[in-house]
Chains A and B, each alone.
Chain A
Amino acid sequence: MAPETLAVVGRSVPRLDAREKVTGAARYVTDLALPEMVHARLWRSPVPHARLHGVGVERAAAAPGVLAVCTAADLPVRRLCYGPAYKDQPILADGVVRYAGEPVVAVVADTPAHAEAALPLLDVRFEELQAVTTAEAALAPDAPLIHGALDPAGHFRDLSGLRPIAGTNVCHHWHAERGDLAAAFAEADLVVDDAYHYPALSHHALEPHCVIARVEADGSFTVWTGTQHPFPVRRELAEIFDVPLARVQVIVPLIGGAFGGKCYTKIEPIAAALAARVRRPVRLALSLEESARTITRHAVTVRLKTAIRRDGTLLARECDVVLDTGAYADIGPRVATKAGYRAPGPYRIPHLRIDARCVYTHNVPAGAYRGYGVPQVTWASESQLDGIAERLGLDPLALRLRNLLKRGEEYVAGDTPMDGDLAEGLGAVARAVGWGVPDAPGRGQGLACAMKDGGGTHTVSMAVVRVHADGSVSLFAGTVEVGQGARTVLAQIAAETLGVPFETVVAVAPDTALTPYDHGTSASRSTTVMGLAVQAAARDAREQLLRLAADLLGTDPAALDLRGGRVVHGDRALSVAEVVRGHFGLVGGEVTGVGTFVPGAWSGSLGGATVFWETGMGAAEVEVDPDTGAVRIHKYVSAADVGTAINPRECAGQDEGAALQGLGPALFEARASEAGQLLNPGLIDYRLPTFLDLPDRFDTLLIENADGPGPFGSKGVGESGTFCAAPAIGNAIARATGVRLREVPMTPERVWRALQDARPKASAS
C-alpha cells in the first residue's frame, strides 16, 4: 500500500482520457483526415507460396480515381526489406510470395471505393509453389528453404546474438543449459516426458491497423500510426528511405487496442512509400480481416522432460520449444528466446537444458502478443506439473510451494534475483478459490503460476517535464496509450514527484519530433521503466523549482518543501507559478526537467538484466458437461504482483482484461488454417470472449509489497493475467474429469473426445 503521505499515487483517479472516450470525442488514427489525402488498398496473394511472373496494371491504372498502381519495383525506396530482427520482409512481395494474404500490389486512389474497385482489374501472374505450412514440415530435412541468407537488422542489443541454423528454416535457435542432466534423470524417482501444443491466435484489437503518411516539402516524412513502437518505426523508415532520424516524424494518437499486434513496424512502410510515390498524404486502413493477415501469435509446440523426486523436489527439466514464426521473422526470434528463457517456470530447478527454435513457414508472420511466449510455455509447464502431482499423489499447491523460487533467490545466475513473494500470490488465489475444500460433485479446481522477466531487455526510456509559467505541467513521454492507462499513471507519477496537483499535468501524445526517445510500449515496461524516467525528470524539475524558490525566499533549498503546487517555507508559501514567474521576471519562461532510464550493464543469456519479475497466478473452478464436453467456469481468480499500485483500479483492469483474454484461447479461440489458408480471418468464425464468458465469480488480487524497482515500489502489470488461465482451467478440468488435454483450446469437442477416450473400452460400446 502506498504511504498515506502520498497525494495521488495509490489512488484510483479517473483516467485522463475517460471523458473523451465516453463522449465519442477520442480520436484514433482511423478518425484522422488530412487535406488532399488519398487512399490505398492492397492486392494480397491468394496462395501461400508463389513465384511472381509480373503484374498487368494497365486496366487498374486507368480505372476511375486511380492515382498509382505500385508493385515492389515501383516503390521509391532505398531498401525494400525491413524487420526488427532480420531485414527479411519486403514492403510488397518481390518476385516471390511467402504467405497467403501477403501484399503484392498497392493501388492508390482518390477514394477508398475507387481503390477497392481497381483491385479486381489487376492481372497478377504467378506460379504457385509447394508451401510449408507447419513448423514440423518446415523442420523436415528435405523442406524447401523459405529464405536464403539472412540480414540481421542490428537494431536491438538483445538481438545481437541471433543464431540462424544455416541450410534450415530455423531463423533463430536459443540454447541454454546448466548442471548435469544425465545424472539428474538417473537420480529421479519419476521422469515425465510429454508435449503440448498452443495454436496461432489473432490479436483482434478492435481498431485494425491504420496509417496515414505524408511527405513534406523538404523531403521529411510525417507518419500518423497506431504503433506501440514509434521510435523503432522511425528508425525503420529512416533506413528504408535513407534519411536522417530527424527527418522522420512518427505521431501516435490514441490506439484502439494492440496486445502486441502493433509492435514494431507493420504497414507504415507501405503507406510512406506510396506517399512518396504520389506526393499526396496516403491513408492505408486495414480491415479487421486484413489485420489478421498481418500478424499472429506464434503457434508453439513445447516438449518437456522433467525429473523429480518422490517428495516433489524438481531436479531437472529439458525444454524443447518450437515456434512457427511464419513467412517473416518479425520479432519472432526474441519471442523464441523469451519463451525458452521462461519455459522452466518460476521454480528452483538445478539441472536444465533449453532449446527454442524459431521456424519460418509459409504462414502469416507471427510476432509479439501479450506475454511474449509465456502463455504458450506456461500451458505446457503448469499442465505437466499437475500431471506430476497426480502421479506422485501430491497436492498440486504443495508441490508448487516446495519448488517456487523464494524472494532473493536467483532464477539464472547473474540475473536479477526474484523480487517478489510467489508463494504469497499463489496462496492467495488458492484461498480465494476455496482450495482444499472438497470439490462439489462434477466440479474441479486448478491452479497455475508463472513469471516472466518484465520491463524489456536492455531498453532505454527518456522523459521531459516542462513546468510552465502558470504552474501547469506538460509531460513528454513516448509511451503509447493503448488503453492500459499509461498517460494517467505517468501523470500520477509526475504529479506526485513534482508535488503539484494531478489536474495540472497534461500528458502529451507520443511524437518522435517532440517526445524524447523511448524503446516502446511493450513488455509491461511503461510504469516501471518509463515511470523511472518520468520520476527522474520530475525530480530534476522539482529540484530546479526548489532552487529558484530558495533564491526568491532567500533561503536554502533544503529548507523548502514543494507539495500541492506550493513551495512552503515556514508560514510563507509560493505557488509554482509564482516561482517560475518570479525567477524569470516575466509572464513567460519555464522549468524543464529531463529524466533517463538506462539499463544496467549486466548481459546474461537474454542480453540484459531483468528489470523486475512479472508474476501471475490463476485459480479456476470449473464444471464439465460430460455429454457435450462444454466447460463452465464458475470461478476464476487471478493475482498480479504490482509492487505498488500507482492506480489500483487501472491495475485491476489490466489484470481482469488479461485474465479474460486468457480464457479465450483456453476454451475456444484459435486460428484455423488449411494448407496455409486462414479459414477464420473475421469475427463470424473467430470467436472472441464475450460478456457470456465472464465467469460467475471473477476476481483479481493485487499483491502490494512496495518491492518493485519502479517509482514508489511499483512493478509492471498487464501481461501476467494471461499466463495462467489455460493451465489453471486445464488442471481444473483434469481434477473434475480425470482427463488431461495437451492442446488448447479445450473446445467442447476436444474435452468430449478426451472423455470418450478415457472411458474403459469394455463399457464404451
Chain B
Amino acid sequence: MRDSGRPEPPTVVVLLAPGGAHDAHALRQVLAGLEEEGVPAAVETAAAHDCVALAERAAERSSLEVGVGIAADGVCLTHRALHGRPPLEHLLDPVVASRARCLGHDAARLVTGIALKLPAG
C-alpha cells in the first residue's frame, strides 16, 4: 500500500540504467521471459553502473520481492530474501540474448515457485 491508499499491483521490478542499444536488447529478452511465464513486471530507470546493486534495489521495491538490474556491466537477478548475499544470477556484458531470456523466465519462476532454468555459465 502506498500513501494514496491504492494497492500497488504485484510486479517484478526491473531497474534499468539506460546506456545503449545492448541494454535495450537485454531488457526486451528479460521482459519476454517474464511475460511468457505470465508474471507482470514494472520497468523503472535509475542512474547507476552496477547491475548487482540495481537488482538489490529492485528487489527492495518489488511487492513480489524479486528484482532485476540491467546496467552497462551486465544483467542481474536477485530476491529480497538474499539481500547482502551473492545474487542468484549474474550475466556479464556482453549478454547473450538467450541467457537474458532464461534470466527473465527465472525471475518469474521465483515468484510462481517453479524449478529454475538457470542459464548455463
Say whether A and B bind each other: no
